[in-house]
Amino acid sequence: MESLSLNLSLSCHLLRNMNYFTIPWDNLGIGAFWLMLMAFLVALPCSQMGSFLILRRMALTGDAISHSVFPGVVIAFVLIGDLASPWLIVGAGLAGLASTVFIELIHRKTRVKQDAATGISFTALFALGVVLMESMLGKNVDLDLDCVLHGRLGLLLEEHHVEMFGTMVPQPILVMAGVALLTLVMMVIFYRVLLLSSFDSGLAASYGYKPLVIHYCLMFVVSFIVVAAFQAVGAILVIALLILPGAAAYLCSCRLKAMLFLAGLHALLSAVGGLYLHVWFNTDMAAAVVVCGGVLLLLAWLLGPVDGLMWKWLR
């Protein structure tokens, strides 16, 4: 009897709090959907390329790129003078590529190993970016450090809207959708090249694939994605979006295609969960997305069918 009443009161409580799940929509209307979509569109291409970075043991290269694009953004901003200009993305992409060339040069031409070379190049370039920004732009510009570190996802609903199919869509969503689509198309086209060169670069080279060319192409695509994502979530959280989905998926799958699918799913769930955390606790949306992704990784670690701790305990 007692347990029945407990049950009843529990369900009443749940029912009363059902609005927890509708809060974002009640508060933000379609804005909630845009925020979620934007977070997903940023996380999706990151999750796919990040999976390959993890398999190639280059996860930190994503970190390097995300920091070293900064001087490129500053220089492009000085030349163009407009923060919304697509040239900023080009400048940042070039800076990202420069940092990977820099890393390769250091570790191929000197005795310094790749991990140290990565550490050198991204910190030095990021610092260069800070120096350039403060010396060339002064401290009172639109391009501020806070924005570089945290991104502008929270400002999405205030950005310029464009009409599409009768609704007003925030412009960054269109840009990010283009980036995501392009990434997926490239990945489908080059799937086997990426698979073979990541698994067995020796065999790939014996087939006449050029490992260095593949490396730079991959780095260029990663720079491109990171730059686009960087504006939304900032330089630090973009690393999480590159690594978390792939790492979580890696714990749950034995096949590359399954891993890529699960990484995409992780991106989607992080975006949805991030929206709720953002509204429930009134926190930064980008950080909420990453926290959610971290929780999902923890779940994969505990329950993942391949490497889950729970199965090891049960055995």
**Piece in contact with another protein (CB under 8 A), picked from 62-70, 162-170, 205-213, 289-297:** 205-213
Nearest alpha-carbon partner for 155 in 165, 144, 170, 169: 170
* Amino acid sitting at position 54: I
Tell me, residue by residue from 234 to 263, as one string, x for binding to another protein by CB under 8 A and - for no binding: ----------------x--xxxx-xx----
Least separation in angstroms between residue 310's CB and another protein is 19
> Tokens in use for 145?
């450090």
Instruction: Tell me, by CB under 8 A, how many residues bind another protein.
Output: 26
**Is residue 281 involved in binding another protein (CB under 8 A)?**
no
Q: From the centroid of its chain, how far is CA 290?
A: 9
Residue 88 identity:
L
Using CB under 8 A, which of 28, 137, 145, 306 touches another protein? 306
Q: Does 196 bind another protein (CB under 8 A)?
A: yes
Q: Taking CB under 8 A as the rule, does residue 210 contact another protein? A: no
Residue 213 binds another protein (CB under 8 A): no
144 interacts with another protein by CB under 8 A:
no
Q: Is 189 in the site for another protein (CB under 8 A)?
A: yes
**Least distance in angstroms from the C-beta of 85 to another protein:** 35
By beta-carbon proximity to another protein, the closer residue of 206 and 282 is: 206
Residue 52 touches another protein, criterion: CB under 8 A: no
* Cβ proximity to another protein, 112 vs 272, nearer residue: 112
When binding is defined by CB under 8 A, the residue of 33, 87, 199, 280 that contacts another protein is 199
Alpha carbon distance 39, 157 (integer Å): 13
Q: Where on the chain is the footprint of another protein (CB under 8 A)? A: 55, 57, 189-190, 192-193, 195-196, 198-200, 202-203, 205-209, 250, 253-256, 258-259, 306
